[in-house]
Every structure is written in structure tokens, then in C-alpha cells.
Structure 1
Amino acid sequence: MAENRDHFIIGFVAGSAALGIMFFFRIFAGGLFIPELAAQTLFSLMPGTVESVAVETLGPLAKQMAFAGAIVANLFLYGAIGVLSHRTYQRLAHKGFVINLSQLSLLSYAILFVLVTIMLEVTQFLTQPIPISLTSLYLLPPHIVFGFILYFKFRRQVTGPELVQQTNPNESLTDLKRRQFLRIAVASAIGSAIFFSGSGFLFPKPERTPDVPSDSRVLQPAKSPIDIFADPRLAFFVAAEVTPNDRFYKVDVNILTPTIKENAWKLNVKGLVNNPLELTYEELKSMPAVEEYATLECISNKIGEDLISTALWKGVPLQSILSNAQFKPEAAYVVFKCYDGYDVGIPLERALETILTYEMNGVPLPPEHGFPLRAVVPGIYGMMNAKWITEIEVVDRTYEGFWQRQGWSNNAQYQIHSTIVLPSAALTSRFRDLRSLKTVAGEKVPIAGIAFAGDRGISKVEVSMDDGKSWQEARIKEPLSNYTWVLWATEWIPSTAGRYSIVVRAADKTGKVQTPEYQNAFPNGSAGYHRVDINVEAS
């Protein structure tokens, strides 16, 4: 048993080195990183009900923990291969270096190649699509190193005990434990290095959005004629009506962001069209473009949370491209297929309002937000606004994309949401430099937030300072477009000190009022009132 444990640790250490080399090739040559593939395979197989619970409980950590778990599982697999490899090594130890290195490397290579082949067949996603021929080549260097480490560690084990006994038999057990400790330490250090190297991609440092010219519409949203929005205490809130790129929410199925070279990218338009198209990035950008402010929200966003953002998008109306392709009368759905394997379909009537965007807030789309091309589809949740688009197919039937096959809504129409941003701590990831407001009895305090109902707009926002017993109408700032959130605000003078519960509700322009009943995000998006409790101090 102790001998197996030693061989497991050796395999674990050698596996750490192999993963380190794999990660190097993944970052600098677009190679395969097995834990990334394993995590994406897990996402592909996970039912929507399970995935929704994971997202509800862990948020973005769900994806990060899956990746970390895949790294650990891969290291344990290498440990088991270390035990198995030693048994084959014992039978061939007398064959010499070349034979031993070959058998130790090929055994691990064969096991991992089979597993990778199975995962490539099962997974619906692949951040960096790689032909199986290249996959087989990318797996070779890590497993040659794996076999090399096993060979020298196994070889030392054969001669090591004899040398220890000749030196000092009484110290052999102590030396063995010391060596075992060093192996564990090295394994942990290398494994941690791999994880934290990857964490730069899992927890990216915010990248500053390049400055845009002073006459840019991004930096000069329309000023509101309503005096309440001129309150200095709301200055940071109003200034963040457009979300900077480095604060725009990011949700997708990828562990590492897909990297696409614009000169190698093409958009194919096919299906029920008389004139199939193939457009390069430059050809797409040369077409007549439009700019539009639009808010996107993730369907997994919980009440009062921050998976919602607004940006100025620039791109080509999808209607222009479909018209050039001459879609047929029987067309019903337009399907987006993406570089990473993601797919989603939207009704034709939605497609005719969609923008295929290549700029965001005055700069080219950042890679994490879909470079070179993403769809911005008014009125429906973010999962329908595909990123990294490479193909558009027109079909004659209702199409269910990846998340719909997992049980999420295919209608995906935005619920009515209203959120209290001040004086609560909601949406601090989207609104920069918000200042906490001191609430004192007898003094006027602003209450402010956002409301959103997709392309249906917001007609009214009401706020209650007594947990819904009475309501007062808030003022609404003119929205940046028909597709964005609105900022709302009101003023309140608490009469006495104590604890108050503030609640907000909204109505859209069709007359529908936000439901007070709480609803989980799965499958149609969360619903219910946002409520915050505050303490009012005595004057």
C-alpha cells in the first residue's frame, strides 16, 4: 500500500508538469488543455435544472469551481496512471532508457487520448476548436515529459533503498518520509502554479476601456430635464447610465475566452436563402452600419443582482444581410452558430430587429464580449444574443439552442425588473464609485435605481418606504433608447429614526405591472419585487 502511495504521488507530480506544458501550448499555440475540455463536457451534460441550482447558489464561481475540480481530477488520474505505469515498468526495467520512456509515455498518452476523443464527441462546446489530428500532436509533448519524470523516479526507487541502507539503516524511514513530503510539496506547488496561471483567465483583471473622443455619444448621454437627477448625490449613478466595457457583465460557457483572428474569420449565411453569403470581417464592416444603445440581461440574474448592463453598440442590421441573402417565404427562425460550438435560434421577426455588432462603446468588441461579431437582439434575454458568431442559418421551424435543450425558455422575453441602487448596495459592479448615503430622520434623501422590461419600455415606477403599505411614484429619466433600462429616482424625508423596508415596482408600456410573487430564474427568468432594509439615524 505504501509503495502504491509513492507511485501515486510520483504520477501526481509528473501529471502536474504535463498539465503545465499543456497549459503553455493552450495559451501560446491554441492547443488543448484537458481540464478545460472536461469542464465544458460537464456543462454540456448537465441538465438545466441542476445547472440553474449551481448558478443560483454559486454564481460565476460555479464555472470556476468546475474548472478547478477538473484540474484536480486530472491530477488524480495521473496519480492512478503512475501506479499502473510502475507495474509495467517492473516488467520492462531491464530494457533500457528508450524502451522504458516509450512505454511510460505511451501508456499515459493512450489513456488520455481515448478520454479526450470521447469528450470531443460528447461536448457541445469547444472554446478553441481543434482537429483530432492536431489534438494527437498537442498531447505528445506533455506525455513525453510525464514518461520522462516517471522513468527517473522509478529508476531511483530501484537503487535508492540499497544506497540508503548502506549509508545508515536507522535513517532510511526518516529519509523516505522526507522524500515523500518533498514530493507532495512539489506536486502542490506545481498544481497551484497551473491553477493560478489559469486564474488570470478565470478572474481577469479589469481592462480599461480606451478613451473615446470628447464628442462621443458614449460619454455624453442626454441630460435629463428632471431636477432630481441633478442632485450631486446621484452624480455617479447618472454618469454610469452606460456601462463601461470593463464593468459590463460577462456570462458564457467557456473557461477561457475564445481567441479569433479577424483575418481568418468569415461569416457564412445559409439555409433557406436564394443567395448564400460568405463575408469577411472587412466586408461586413464596409456595409452600412447603425448605432444603438441597448441593455442586456442574463436570464440567470436574480432579483437585485448585477448580471445586467447597458452599452452603445455599432454594427450591421441583420435585416440587411438577410435581404442580401434573399431569405425564402417559408423562413421562420434564424439560427446563430458560434466559434465555441454554442448555438441559439430566434424568430424571424426578432431577427429583423437585430444588430450584428462589431463595436461596443466606441471600440472594437472585446474578445470576452464576442469579437469579432455578436448579436444584439431587442426584447429577449442575453443567452439569445449570441457571441463569436461564425454562421447564420435560416430554417423553417422553431429552433431550440443549447440552453433551450437544457430546459431554459425559448421565448426568453425579459421579465419586468426594477432595482433599488441607492441607498442599497445593488449593482455596485455596474455603477462605478457609488457613495453610501447617510439617512437621517427629518432630512431629505434620494432613492434611486433602474427598471427594465426589454423592448416594451417602462411607463411607471413606484416606491414604497413602508414595505408595500403605501406607494409613491418615482420620476423616470428619459431612456437612451427604446431598448435600454431607465433610471428612476424619488426623494424621501423619514419622519423618525428606525428600520425601514424600501420596495420598488414597475409597469411596462403595454400596461403590465411587475409581479410581487418571487420566481426563480429557471426557466423563464426571475421575477418579484426588490426590497432593501435601511436604518435611519436620529437627527
Structure 2
Amino acid sequence: GTVGAAGGVAVEASAGVKGGGAGGGDRGARDLDQNERRRFLKGLGLAAGLALVGGVAGRLLTARQAVKQARNEVVLPRPRQPVPVVPAGAQVPGVTPYVSANDDFYRIDTALYPPQVDPSTWQLRIHGMVRNPITLTWEQLLQRPMIERYVTLACVSNEVGGDLIGNALWLGTPIKELLDEAGPLPGADQVVQRSVDGWTCGTPTAVLRDGRDALLAVGMNGEPLPVDHGFPVRMVVPGLYGYVSACKWITEIELSRFADFDAYWVPRGWSAQGPIKTESRIDTPRDGAKRSAGTVVVGGVAWAQHTGITKVEVQVDDGPWAEATLAATVSVDTWRQWSYQWEATPGDHRLRVRATDRTGQTQTSTPAPPAPDGATGWHAVQVSIG
């Protein structure tokens, strides 16, 4: 329709000019003819652009429907080890859920639209500095031994007190076993993960082989991975920020060296290696909350994935630090909730929190932005007591 209209305008204008006089009219006709030609070509380009957008949108919709159907048909394998039981008391009232629902789990990636990957055509290549290159199909992956683990993931761009962190039950095959089969060559200190859309992250090879539950994951909270979170396959690595470990829609693993290759975020100013820092957050009361004088429950979460939290302390105004009560937890690979009974007095007060991990290291009070390797500082909230 757009092309037809543009063509009609061009033809009508040309006919009108040609019906005029000679001399200067001929020059005007040429000028107008060129202008109308530009309009015609512009209209043609607009039409082509709209057709292209429409075609892309149509293909994307078709792909989404196909992948949605494929995901609905996935039957996840049973894990070879029983699912860890969340202990009683892991959840503190008023604190964010210990297990994050799939729909509520944070999403940070560079994909404008989540890639639509048909598992029937999916493959994983493990190559590079290895003795035995491996190519896995979806069916072959599902036949491998699977385990389920609760693992808390965090984004390096999370501000102090932020919510770019979540805990889920992941089903997957240990990546260590695959790497052992591939046989990394000496010097291959980096595992480059590559998404179907070309995004890369680099993980220390030693971390993926040190015995932690690093998974090539296919399930999240008892169902196939949501498309937004990497369906059909992604990586999950306890103790590292996602930008160096949590490749979604993964299709390639290349053994390399940090000296030879910089993954996506490294040239953009972020550190090549991103171990998670010990952090804590106050969830209740919220900043700016009002409470009545008397006992006020202060609660939140603390995390030091793959290291574990041993102590959380709360400070009211500039008073002494008081130790909070730690809730139960599944393992050192998840966050840990805590609570503190505060006898609140009238007035405006500042609450701060800090955590100590199993190495004895207490999180630093020095504020630092997320770049280049994670934010630091103590989370604080202001509360009014009436």
C-alpha cells in the first residue's frame, strides 16, 4: 500500500509538470521530477523497512511459538542425587523469599530479545585447548547424570542494597565432568562460554574444576529453564558474578587463556575475574518506614556464595554493633537470612548491617561502585519511630 501510494504521487506530479510550458518550465519539471523521485525512493525505502520489520517480527513470533511448544514438551531427567531440603526456619518473616520464583528472578543480559533456541537443533561444542574436543546434542546432554542444587546468583552491577540477586533450585550436569573428559591442555586457564547470539564470558578453569557445584543447567525450580533465563541450557557457577560465569543460551565452550582472549565485558572496563564479594542487605524495615516504639524486627539477607556467612551484625545510629540471629540455610552456595530484635525508641534512626564470611573477613565499609568488580559498603536505611 505504501509503495503504491508513493508511486501514484510520483506519476501524477510528473504528468502535471509535463503539461506546463517550455523553457524554464522544463528545468522546473526536471527539478520537481528529481524531488518526486526522491520521495518515491524514500517511500519505497520506508515500505521495505516496514516489510523487513514486519517480517522479522513475524519470524520472531513464529520462533517464540515453536520454542514455547518445544519447552512445554521437555521432560526433565531425574537427578541422581536427592533434592536438598530447605530447612525449617530458613525464611524470616518480612524478608524476600528464600527461593526466588522464576518470574521474579532478576534478569540482566545484553539480548534485546531473548534468543529462541530449539533444543532439537541445539549443540554444545567444547573445543580449543583440549585433548578431546566434544560435541553434545540436547538428547545426549539429558542422558548425562544430573544433580539439583540451590545456588544464589548475583549480578556484578548490583548496587549495595540492590535486588539484582536471586536464589533458585537448578538442575544440571556438573561441568567439571565434561571438562575432565575434554582434557584441558596445560596453560588453558580460561573457559570461554559463548551464547548463541555471540556474547561471551570467561571463567577461571580452576574454579570450574575445584569441586564446587558448577552446572550446565537445564532446569530451574523444578521446570525447564524459562527462555528469559537461558532455555534450553545455561551455566550456573556458585561464587562468581554472572558476567564471568552465567552464560545463557550457551552453545560453545572454548578452553583458552586469559592472556589470549578478553570476554565481552572486559574491554568495557570490568575485571577479567569476578569472585563474589561478601555483602548484606536490610529488607525490613524498608528505607523511610515508620514504626511504633517497642520491639521492631530487623531482617534481611547476607551472602558470600561458596564461602558462607558466619555472622551478621546490626548497628543503630552510631551505637555498638549487635549480633543478629542467623536463619538456617541449605548450603554455603546460597544467601542466608537473618533477624535482629531491636528495642526501638522514638525518633529518626539509621540502621546499618554488615556480614562476616567463613574466612573471618567482614565486609568493608568503604563505598565502591559496581565497576569494575562489584560494589562494596554497608547497606543503611532510615526509620522513623513514633
Q: TM-score, normalised by structure 1?
A: 0.57
Please name the residue that 2:303 is paired with. 452
Residue of 374, 377, 381 corresponding to 2:234: 374
Aligned equivalents of 1:303 and 1:5: distance in 2?
58
Residue of 61, 73, 86 corresponding to 1:222: 86
1:462-499 per-residue CA deviation (whole Å, 9 max, x = no partner) reads 00122x432110111122222111101111121x3211
Please name the residue that 2:56 is paired with. 26
Structure with more contact order per residue of length (Cα contacts < 8 Å, sep ≥ 6): 2
Tell me if the contact between 2:116 and 2:227 (Cα under 8 Å) persists in the aligned partners. Answer: yes
Please name the residue that 2:225 is paired with. 365
1:481-520, aligned counterparts within 5 Å? 481-494=331-344, 496-520=345-369
Aligned equivalents of 2:46 and 2:82: distance in 1?
46
CA-CA distance at 1:324 after TM superposition: 2.0
1:42-441, aligned counterparts within 5 Å? 222-224=86-88, 237=94, 240-352=97-209, 353-384=213-244, 385-398=246-259, 399-424=261-286, 439-441=291-293
Tell me if the contact between 1:315 and 1:359 (Cα under 8 Å) persists in the aligned partners. Answer: yes
CA-CA distance at 1:315 after TM superposition: 0.4
Aligned equivalents of 1:424 and 1:223: distance in 2?
26
Per the alignment, do residues 306 and 15 of structure 1 end up closer, same or farther by CA in structure 2, a change over 3 Å counting?
A: farther
1:380-438 per-residue CA deviation (whole Å, 9 max, x = no partner) reads 11112111111111124544211012110112111221100001169xxxxxxxxxx76
Aligned equivalents of 1:519 and 1:15: distance in 2?
49
Tell me if the contact between 1:310 and 1:485 (Cα under 8 Å) persists in the aligned partners. Answer: yes
1:6-56 per-residue CA deviation (whole Å, 9 max, x = no partner) reads 99999888766554433332233259xxxxxxxxxxxxxxxxxxxxxxxxx
Please name the residue that 1:198 is paired with. none
Please name the residue that 1:110 is paired with. none
1:53-99 per-residue CA deviation (whole Å, 9 max, x = no partner) reads xxxxxxxxxxxxxxxxxxxxxxxxxxxxxxxxxxxxxxxxxxxxxxx
CA-CA distance at 1:314 after TM superposition: 0.7
CA-CA distance at 1:222 after TM superposition: 2.6
SS at match of 1:456: coil
Per the alignment, do residues 499 and 438 of structure 1 end up closer, same or farther by CA in structure 2, a change over 3 Å counting?
A: closer
Please name the residue that 1:73 is paired with. none
1:519-530, aligned counterparts within 5 Å? 519-530=368-379
Tell me if the contact between 2:296 and 2:343 (Cα under 8 Å) persists in the aligned partners. Answer: yes
Per the alignment, do residues 294 and 349 of structure 1 end up closer, same or farther by CA in structure 2, a change over 3 Å counting?
A: same
Tell me if the contact between 1:420 and 1:450 (Cα under 8 Å) persists in the aligned partners. Answer: yes
Tell me if the contact between 2:309 and 2:332 (Cα under 8 Å) persists in the aligned partners. Answer: no
Per the alignment, do residues 359 and 531 of structure 1 end up closer, same or farther by CA in structure 2, a change over 3 Å counting?
A: same
Aligned equivalents of 1:376 and 1:475: distance in 2?
29
RMSD across aligned C-alpha pairs, in angstroms?
Answer: 3.1
CA-CA distance at 1:271 after TM superposition: 1.5
Aligned equivalents of 2:35 and 2:349: distance in 1?
60
Aligned equivalents of 2:158 and 2:40: distance in 1?
44
Q: Which amino acid aligns with 1:243?
A: S
SS at match of 1:27: helix
Tell me if the contact between 2:287 and 2:382 (Cα under 8 Å) persists in the aligned partners. Answer: no
Tell me if the contact between 1:218 and 1:361 (Cα under 8 Å) persists in the aligned partners. Answer: no
SS at match of 2:310: strand
CA-CA distance at 1:238 after TM superposition: 5.7
Q: Percent identity?
A: 35
Per the alignment, do residues 238 and 302 of structure 1 end up closer, same or farther by CA in structure 2, a change over 3 Å counting?
A: closer
Q: Which amino acid aligns with 1:452?
A: W
Aligned equivalents of 1:326 and 1:531: distance in 2?
47
Q: List gaps (5 residues or longer) in structure 1.
A: 32-211, 227-233, 427-436
SS at match of 1:22: helix
Deviation larger for 12-21 or 400-409: 12-21
Per the alignment, do residues 492 and 271 of structure 1 end up closer, same or farther by CA in structure 2, a change over 3 Å counting?
A: same
Aligned equivalents of 1:224 and 1:291: distance in 2?
19
Deviation larger for 8-17 or 411-420: 8-17
Q: TM-score, normalised by structure 2?
A: 0.78
